[in-house]
Amino acid sequence: MRAHKTLLPFLFKTAALAGIAAMTTLSTAALAADDVSLYTTREPKLIQPLLDAFTKDTGITVNTVFVKDGLIERVKAEGDKSPADVLMTVDIGNLLDLVEADVTQPIESKVLNETIPANLRGPEWYSLSLRDRVAYVAKDLDVSAITYEALADPKWKGKVCIRSGQHPYNTALIAAMIAHNGAEATENWLRNVKNNLGRKAAGGDRDVARDILGGICDIGIANAYYVGRMKNAEPGTDNRKWGDAIKVVRPTFASADSKGTHVNISGAAVAKYAPNKENAVKLLEYLVSEKAQGLYANANYEYPIREGVKLDPVIASFGPLVVDPLPLTEIAKHRKQASELVDKVGFNN
């Protein structure tokens, strides 16, 4: 049947609009193919050098969204319309919370599975860098080895500094102590460490170094990467003075069959409804590449997940890192109990 001549302009216009719509859809899809969206609780400036390198090497643009708080709530609210491809955070507890909230998905990646040790990954989450929880020790003290348990020794009475016991860095360490030694022994340990505090458990990790310089304490527990920042700071600055006042000793667990230092992580997962899943996997694989791991080590002073990566000289001076082989998932099981013990013994009071 032939169209009525009065309908021809309308049909031509409709066909043209449909063609434009199709072209728009196609160009949007093509654009999406060159993008990946990252939701991160990490300060963007800390990881921007890695993302810039990824874009330069792959041509894939990273759309970064910094979510300081409420990452799970945001992704859940967006549902299957969420543009998030990769979810990145720090602390194993925060990462596993994403998995338990059902906002991630499992992926298959030979690169990730071969690069990341089994105790530092899961089907839906991957560690990207390590944060070893070490002892800051006054530089003139004759201490070259120590266990975490030894911080409860009365010889350290009034000489220990540490941040809040409820901080995720410390609840993870306490959870590891529970996993190794049991809840009762860990409670006694916490009470004795509290008795050894030279000041209230508060502040940040760099404050431990500050207070060692100030003579308030002789030893404390904090993350190693802060020392990289302090010792690489400009001479004469407070950070440099604090860093120069301490040395780093990597503790181990006295009761562990395989001696190793407790680590926490920065890590990531692919979002459940990732519209660019292929690019999401590419980004994660890139972040464990030798190049990206070198940037982690020399820009953020975090310990690389990949073996054989050249370290910042300050971090290298601490010696090889032997990681506690206890799976992070096993540690994470005890987070709630660790937090309850902190309150029970009044650690922060």
Binding site for Fe cation: residue ranges? 225-226
Q: Tell me how far apart the alpha carbons of residues 318 and 48 are, in angstroms, rounded to a whole number.
A: 26
Q: Tell me how far apart the alpha carbons of residues 343 and 349 are, in angstroms, rounded to a whole number.
A: 9
Residues belonging to the chain = 349
Three-state secondary-structure class, residue 133: strand
Nearest CA-CA partner of 265 in 246, 287, 281: 287
Contact by Cβ (8 Å): 228, 312 = yes
- Cite the beta strand spans of the chain per DSSP E: 35-40, 61-66, 86-90, 104-105, 121-122, 125-138, 160-161, 219-223, 246-249, 263-271, 303-304
Burial group, residue 216, by CB count within 10 angstroms (0-12, 13-18, 19+) = middle
Q: Which residues make up each annotated binding site?
A: 225-226
